[in-house]
Amino acid sequence: LEKETLASGCTSHGTGISRFNLRDADNSAHANLLQSHIFKLDKMIPFLEDESGMSVQYQLMPGMSVPLTDEAWESMQVQGPANGHKVLSGDAARQLEPHLGPEIPGVLWEPRRARVSGPKLTFAYARAAAKRGAEISLGEPATGVQLMDGRVVGVKTPSETIPCGAVVLAMGTWAPEAGAWFGVDIPVKPVKGEALRLVYRGPSSTHALNPMGLRPGFAEQGHVLFRMDGMVSVGSTMEDTGYVSEPTQAARDRLMRMAVYLWPGLAEAEVKHHVYGLRPIPADGLPILGPIPGVEGGFIVTGHGAVSKSALFAEITADYVLRGTTDAVPSMEPFLLERFDAKGDVGENAFGVIRQAREAAPTVAAGSGRDG
Ligand SMILES: Cc1cc2nc3c(=O)[nH]c(=O)nc-3n(C[C@H](O)[C@H](O)[C@H](O)COP(=O)(O)OP(=O)(O)OC[C@H]3O[C@@H](n4cnc5c(N)ncnc54)[C@H](O)[C@@H]3O)c2cc1C
């Protein structure tokens, strides 16, 4: 059931970048989850394109992380090599990319990043699923669930109750609305991200560029990425504006300033689209996956980076629905909804948690982001 149309939520404007962030390069469960998502996506895309008969614009390229502050540069030079990334001087970087900004003191080079189109991926999933018998209802909201003896037996819509053996809430930033259906709190908060799509006829970069560090007047985190459809994607701001929000001139200026620092030729580019979306950010920043506690047959999947991690999230969800468990990641504990009971009330803290994480590791983590 989709209340509007396919890919009408955050997915329509997410950048779809998949990468392994330095911040995640420890042995945490989240790092393991992130690592495995890259391989799942790689494996799944050819299969999905074949099943759906459409391209999802999967683009592989090396990456350059570009420091925006002295602290970021110092920290990158220490942490980068420790995590298998190469430190290049500004001149060495400009030998690879001659049109890179002249003030850039150096970069961290990574062999592999990927980008996929969120809307195309969604359409491909839908087509492939329909081919295998799934029925997809567009313009039809779920308004509740029918419970019997502690288990889900139906989903309510404005016109009917559809009998079912399992329900998966895949509602993005609207997931908290469904908490009442199950008698649980779902601590997810919208965090606005704005991005630009540019038309630019000058020389393009063969690397995905990601700034690191917070610089006044620049976007909070970001990327400059020359997409395979010819557009240049420039993103993304990160602002706590609640559910009501719109794109702003100030955000556009911050994005363009950052883009021109990284790739000066973009000063000549035309802004074709100025997009924004509401990222579903759980209170502790990690995705929420798996069973809804206390109700048999209820499941949830939401969180940030859900475009690039969709193959992994889908496998985890299917495992739980079909087998009641998963071995897709080494430990599910950090991702289960029930973790919030143990932590107490963190529902109002989503954006704060992200900010704190960035402040705690101000040089490398800031700006590296979990997305573009
Ligand atoms: C600027 C920006 C940059 C980003 N960059 C990246 C990136 O580089 N890589 C990455 O992986 N991620 C990125 N993201 C995040 C990513 O886009 C999101 O994590 C992802 O799109 C969330 O997908 P979702 O399906 O959970 O939610 P959504 O795409 O929001 O979908 C939820 C859907 O549920 C529907 N719905 C809601 N309530 C109901 C109901 N009651 N009944 C029926 N349907 C309902 C909505 O209509 C909507 O279509 C970015 C996001 C932004 C905004």
Write out the two tokens for 19: 């990468």
Q: What is the pLDDT of residues 111-132, one digit of tens each?
A: 888 999 999 999 999 999 999 9
Q: What's the CA gap between 158 and 144, in Å, rounded?
A: 9
For ligand 1, atom 50: residue with the closest CA: 14
Residue bearing tokens 């990222």: 279
Whether ligand 1 lies within 6 angstroms of the CB of 358 is answered as: no
Whether ligand 1 lies within 6 angstroms of the CB of 157 is answered as: no
- How many angstroms does the Cα of residue 117 sit away from the middle of ligand 1? 13
The pTM of this model reads 0.90
- How many angstroms does the Cα of residue 261 sit away from the middle of ligand 1? 29
Residues in the chain: 372
Whether ligand 1 lies within 6 angstroms of the CB of 9 is answered as: yes
Q: Which of 23-32, 191-200, 300-309 has the lowest mean pLDDT?
A: 23-32
Pocket test for ligand 1, best of 4, 12, 15, 309 (most atoms within 8 A of CB): 15
pLDDT band at 28 (very low <50, low <70, confident <90, very high): low
Q: Which of 97-111, 141-155, 213-227 has the lowest mean pLDDT?
A: 213-227
Pocket test for ligand 1, best of 8, 281, 307, 351 (most atoms within 8 A of CB): 307
Backbone angles phi, psi at 127, to 5 degrees: -65, -45
Q: What's the CA gap between 241 and 190, in Å, rounded?
A: 8
Whether ligand 1 lies within 6 angstroms of the CB of 367 is answered as: no
Residue 350, pLDDT score: 42
Whether ligand 1 lies within 6 angstroms of the CB of 307 is answered as: yes
- How many angstroms does the Cα of residue 10 sit away from the middle of ligand 1? 3
Q: CB neighbours (10 Å) of residue 16?
A: 27
Q: Which of 37-41, 306-310, 329-333 has the lowest mean pLDDT?
A: 37-41
Whether ligand 1 lies within 6 angstroms of the CB of 3 is answered as: yes
Q: What is the pLDDT of residues 222-274, one digit of tens each?
A: 899 999 999 999 999 988 888 877 899 999 999 999 999 999 999 999 999 99
Q: Which of 89-103, 194-208, 346-360 has the lowest mean pLDDT?
A: 346-360
User: Shortest CA distance to 314 belongs to which of 330, 293, 299, 298?
Assistant: 299
Whether ligand 1 lies within 6 angstroms of the CB of 52 is answered as: no
Whether ligand 1 lies within 6 angstroms of the CB of 13 is answered as: yes
Average pLDDT over residues 269-290: 94
Whether ligand 1 lies within 6 angstroms of the CB of 308 is answered as: yes
Q: What's the CA gap between 368 and 312, in Å, rounded?
A: 21
Whether ligand 1 lies within 6 angstroms of the CB of 304 is answered as: yes
Atom in ligand 1 nearest the alpha carbon of residue 9: 30
Whether ligand 1 lies within 6 angstroms of the CB of 190 is answered as: no
Contact, 171 vs 252, CB < 8 A? no
| 3-class SS string, the chain | CECCCCCCCHHHCCCCEECCCHHHCCCCHHHHHHHHHHHHHHHHHHHHHHHHCCCCCCEEEEEEEEECCHHHHHHHHHHHHHCCCEEEEHHHHHHHCCCCCCCCCEEEEEEEEEECCHHHHHHHHHHHHHHCCCCCCECCCCCEEEEECCEEEEEECCCCEEECCCEEECCHHHHHHHHHHHCCCCCEEEEEEEEEEEECCCCCCCCEEEEECCCCCCCCCCEEEECCCCCEEEECCCECCCCCCCCCHHHHHHHHHHHHHHCHHHHHCEEEEEEEEEEEEECCCCCEEEECCCCECEEEEECCCCCCCHHHHHHHHHHHHHHCCCCCCCCCHHHCCCHHHHHCCCCCCHHHHHHHHHHHCCCCCCCCCCCC
Whether ligand 1 lies within 6 angstroms of the CB of 237 is answered as: no
